[in-house]
Amino acid sequence: MKKSVRNALIILPILVLIPFLFFKSCMIYNPKPADCDIVTTKIIKVREGSTFDIQFKGSTGNTYYINRGLEQGLNLDTLNALVLNKTVTLHLAKLAFGPTKHIAQLAIDDQVIFTEFD
């Protein structure tokens, strides 16, 4: 086999595989508790975000979100009554390059308000 053909057979799969793995690592799919960072923060604001997301602003200034929370049946008024000015525990999904602001689970004390865990 010619050297150029052999090199092409090696390089082509690498050029396809690396972008695939990179983009796959940027997707949050079926997070598990062991794959999350746990953050405790006081919620000072709850609002609707883009694409039906629900955003929570913490007392440290960070904003976290439940992806498509409004489409999942969550209600802003109910969430405001439950979490506003209260300390919550957030499980934040991690990706290959670090933690995200994506909420996989939201709880107050032992009461789970929202979860993506099975």
Res 1: pLDDT = 65
- Per-residue model confidence as pLDDT tens digits over 50-76: 889 999 999 999 999 999 999 999 999
DSSP readout, 86-101?
Answer: SEEEEEEEEETTEEEE
Give me the domains of the chain, ranges plus CATH numbers. 33-115 (2.40.50.140)
Report the amino acid identity of residue 1: M
User: Residues 95, 26: contact at Cβ < 8 Å?
Assistant: yes
Contact partners, residue 60, CB within 8 Å, separation at least 6: 41
